[in-house]
Structure 1
């Protein structure tokens, strides 16, 4: 499997603070069946002032540590990019990395407040030739009142990435409900771990793949953790990637845990 959203580099953001924890995370990832991890620390102006050159150096240093520890995990360079003025300029100048140099980039919306003109910001990136992969929409506290926005963005060409643990309830019932709903309505392109630690936020992807397989079948689950992530690494255009199942068409869904317990939110 391929994990394109992971905070594994030590001491660079809110991920692991020590090399020992980073190595433990890498071992967990390999044991889980992950062979490639994109290291995607936050780029958050005013908080995490990372840039492509610094991330590349941190990845190269960690590769050497993995080799010394004999951990067979391949690494790539990326960033968990937050909305900021002139994000397109930052990408074009080389300050902000895309996912492994491709046209795809991780875009993390604010967690608690719906940003003004969010759809417009996403569209600006797409018109500049980039494909935003919007991270963990199911965990945003404002998804309930703005759910239609994400469906519209998918129709316009943006990609969606769910956190694997959301599908198994690691983040609570509400993110599980929204992740199941987005899957069932054909709005999800890839799964990733968004791991930050070996204990609190472990790099486990297989559990999410298996949960997706139970809802959508093994083929689509494979696309979520292998085919589409590999297409990003290969920088394929979206037209060359397996399409989403029934995009934009609400399905007759199996009720998720939240629905079974409390009804639809």
Structure 2
């Protein structure tokens, strides 16, 4: 599997505080069946991570993983705040795309009001494609799901957090994640893991629990690989959830 959202780099944001914590998280990723991880530290006013810092971190992490004999591939990226992204020049944004390609991982706003649609249009007008991280956690999008549909229709693709399905962020987030899935508006899943303890990785189990076991390869491998290759994904992804007892109880 490929995890395109992981705060693996040490001492940059709210991820691991040191290299030891990063290696524990990397080992947990490998044990969970992940073979490739995008290093996506926050790039915000609070955590102004530069492209050069990410590039250096990729080199250092590859060396550390090799020394520790952890079978995990890593590529660069960042989780970008919309306002911060809009203020960056194009060459800096290119250095923060997923694996140096055309896709930016943009954080869905966690505030009730944000100029999301015009901001996304501005970034796409500059030649970048947008992968929207954890829209299920955004109060603004929960209140007006039509925004997600309009964004997807305009070319944006979405990435849900697997833990959102299992209730890690509460019942409201869980219900909205399932609503987006059933509407065909989900294109990938990621872990958004920050450490091996409080925010651990894990992709397959939450998806299987909610009847998406048949689609793990598509959502956690095939589509992420296409994004890393700079390819486009289909607008709508219609998924059939298997409705076992737990699935019926969950809705």
Length-normalised TM-score, structure 2: 0.90
Contact 1:184 1:253 in 2 (8 A): no
When structure 1 is superposed on structure 2, of 142-151 and 180-189 the one drifting more is 142-151
2:219 matches 1:224:
yes
Partner of residue 63, structure 2: 64
Q: Contact conserved, 1:169 with 1:176, CA < 8 A, in 2?
A: yes
Equivalent pair of 1:191/1:205 in contact (CA under 8 Å): yes
Aligned length: 251
1:87 CA displacement:
2.4
Counterparts of 2:238 and 2:67, CA distance in 1:
46
SS at match of 2:220: helix
Match of 2:176 in 1: 178
C-alpha displacement at 1:197, in angstroms? 1.2
One of 190, 193, 196 as aligned partner of 2:191: 193
User: Is residue 2:22 matched to residue 1:27?
Assistant: no
User: 108, 118, 123: which is aligned to 1:120?
Assistant: 118
Query: 1:132-211 to 2 correspondence within 5 Å?
Result: 132-211=130-209
Q: What is the alpha-carbon distance in structure 1 between the residues aligned to residue 156 and residue 41 of structure 2?
A: 21
The more displaced of 124-133 and 193-202 is 124-133
Task: For 1:91 and 1:189, locate their aligned partners in 2 and report how far apart those are by CA, in whole Å.
Answer: 26
Shift of 1:225: 0.4
The Cα shift of 1:127 comes to 2.2
In the alignment, is the contact (CA less than 8 A) between 2:44 and 2:84 conserved in 1? no
Q: How does 1:48-63 map to 2 (within 5 A)?
A: 48-63=47-62
In the alignment, the residues of structure 1 paired with residue 234 and residue 151 of structure 2 have an alpha-carbon distance, to the nearest angstrom, of: 18
Determine helix, strand or coil for the equivalent of 1:244: coil
SS of residue paired to 1:3: strand
Q: TM-score, normalised by structure 1?
A: 0.86
RMSD over aligned CA atoms reads 2.7
**Aligned residue for 1:87?**
86
